[in-house]
Structure 1
């Protein structure tokens, strides 16, 4: 029997299943395990090639006759918030974001559960228990962090710790950026546009950390769930020829390194 090194990735292909984003289509994924001492380096390399991480698995769409899922990353240093984005930032000026170790809490799960029940009650994650949530956070062999977003106490000051937990982002720290693995928020705070706010906050954090990109996962034109990612410009989108720059005026540049 041939023995494979723990650090040598082996790739597998899933069976077809209904696409959760485009009606009438089916999806397939190619995936591998992120384990061992080289997991972080492998995660970096695969993310650059359009993969996403879920726990200790890296995956990428490999659908028959469909290339709708396009990996996108925001160019952090060049991003300038539009008027609408500035309004989102202003609406959430009372929120404090704290970067923490990837450790699950019952408080986080309460927000996660409310988010699923309101926004994804029929999705594949709908039945996740508190133990499932803990695995989602802890089952990682790469550098992963949680960012907790809380409303600020009246007496906490500008930089003080916030009070009520209102949103959470599970984020990987890559060699060239932040990769937003999963984020969720209190559904009764929908007027805040917290999903957009967390992306804007990650762009600011990446810039402060000297990281050039924020990886948003897959942009899918025509999908209500995923089309919003195309609004964060300038950004790069992964094409067969490499990363293509897309500017606010809709222009597309040559492949980027």
Structure 2
């Protein structure tokens, strides 16, 4: 990905989604670039993330809290809590499905957003919002459907790139709290990467000490991206 071939734009300051007293800005790869499908893998390697049709990287003037992170698939072994999660959900079926909108998925997505983001604007997602946020025409996306029999319990939106998977977004039945479906979805993405011989599962950004991001550090060995490149999280913490 060369700077003389790919344009980068910087967004205007906007409200930070993680800290109420901060503003945020992103670097965004030109969304009109004709080769976004080819840029995606190298962009992941450099810490970028997909949201809808945009590849972005947090680039805030006074904050560097968002740290790209990824799971080392070959070295990953579930801890005791994660093994219990797998055992607890042994009755579920995970199906690799084509990405896209349907009424069943949309109903679960709306229900999840109403529970997790009530009053924040995201809980009014219609069909076009679903498509715009979760899919892109150039993106190598599949949906991992998590089912209890015929009942849809969760969807892990997963991008399959040449050298790794990107865990884009997961939504699930909010009433099934005892199943830890978010953790289960990541474990299934790790297993999918292993089956496909892919070395990494990219989890987006980790923020030290933030309660919404703390779960990511439980997937060890995890790597974080620093100014010097990717480093093992344990090594980085020191």
Structure 2 equivalent of residue 216 of structure 1: 203
The residue that corresponds to 2:235 in the other structure is: 251
Which residue number in structure 2 is paired with residue 9 of structure 1? 6
Structure 1 residue runs of 4 or more that deviate by more than 4 Å after TM superposition: 34-37
What is residue 158 of structure 2 aligned with on the other side? Answer: 171
**For 1:104, what is the secondary structure of its paired residue?**
coil
Match of 1:118 in 2: 115
Quote the RMSD (CA, aligned, Å).
1.9
2:228 maps to what in 1? 241
Aligned mates of 1:137, 1:66 — CA distance in 2: 27
Distance 1:195 1:13 in 2: 31
Partner of 1:187, secondary structure, is coil
Q: State the alpha-carbon separation in 2 of the partners of residues 124 and 9 from structure 1.
A: 32
CA drift at 1:37: 5.2
State the SS of the aligned residue for 1:126: helix
Task: Note the C-alpha offset of 1:229.
Answer: 0.9
Q: Normalized against structure 1, the TM-score is what?
A: 0.86
Q: Separation in 2 of the partners of 1:68 and 1:186?
A: 30
The counterpart of 2:192, out of the listed 205, 224, 243, is 205
Unaligned runs of 5+ in 2: none
Of 111, 125, 130, which aligns to 2:127? 130
Q: How many residues align?
A: 235
The CA deviation at 1:137 is: 3.8
Give the equivalent residue in structure 2 for 1:157: none
What is the CA–CA distance in structure 2 between the aligned matches of 1:219 and 1:237, rounded to whole Å? 8
Q: Which secondary structure does the structure 2 equivalent of 1:214 belong to?
A: strand
How is 1:12-91 mapped onto 2 (pairs within 5 angstroms)? Answer: 12-34=9-31, 38-91=35-88
